[in-house]
Homo-oligomer: A and B are copies of this chain.
Amino acid sequence: MSIWYIIDLVGTSVFAISGALSALSKKMYHDIIAILFIGFLTAVGGGTIRDVIMGAYPIAWIRDPNYLIVIITSVSLAVFCRKWWRGALKRPLLIFDTIGLGLFTILGMQKALLVGVNDWAAILLGIITALFGGVIRDTLVNDLPLILDRQLYVTPCLAGALLYQLNRFLGLDSTFNLILSACLITLVRLIAIRKDWTLPRIEN
């Protein structure tokens, strides 16, 4: 059982929790089955789209039941522990979504590089892995898409992906590189929200 496999399961768990918290934070009616289903789609959506684009079959959660077990456990935990946050779901949702963003960008890029995609396509596939679980989640709960949010969203993923590629060419150890790049994404996104960092708006 490699370290990558464990990190992949951790990312899956984190995004499943973010999907569950997102469903919980909606005013609409939600029972446990709907929350599980949205948690599942959030967790596997981005990676599934990446693998389908690359034609990299079989897809992880179909081959390996551990992904589904991790998702069911994580969503149940999120639902069970929701009282701890006393309804203040916004902050934990943000944190889990942002950790997932960092992990999935880099893991998605790594998977794409393993399959033999060129370096630029790998960056895009990493970003798609990170963003499209959330896009599916937001579409299903009828939320505004986050892509055009004021705060930096695509930008931190791109920055982390570029850092990973740079370190790779410099020959950095790949586990260390993953942790470093994923942390960069998570930190830049969190600080951008906190400090209201933005790129210059492009006016018409």
Contacts and interface: CB of A to CB of B under 8 A. Distances in A.
Interface of A: 23-26, 28-35, 37-38, 40, 48, 52-55, 57-59, 61-63, 65, 68, 79, 82, 87, 89, 117-118, 120-121, 124-125, 127, 135, 139-142, 144-145, 147-150, 152-155, 158, 198-202, 204
Nearest to A31: B199
A24 B147 contact: no
Contacts of A40: 124
Given A202-B31, A202-B32, A204-B25, A62 B68 contact: no
B62 A202 contact: no
Given A37-B154, A65-B121, A200 B147 contact: no
Contacts of A87: 204
A196 to B, nearest CB: 11
B28 A124 contact: no
A36 to B, nearest CB: 8
What 7 pairs across the A-B complex have the smallest Cβ distances? A31-B199, A55-B57, A29-B150, A28-B148, A87-B204, A62-B121, A33-B155
A61 to B, nearest CB: 7
28 contacts: A25-B204, A26-B148, A29-B149, A30-B201, A31-B199, A31-B201, A32-B199, A33-B152, A34-B153, A37-B147, A37-B154, A40-B124, A52-B52, A52-B53, A53-B59, A53-B62, A54-B57, A55-B58, A62-B125, A65-B118, A65-B120, A79-B202, A82-B202, A89-B204, A139-B139, A139-B145, A141-B147, A142-B144
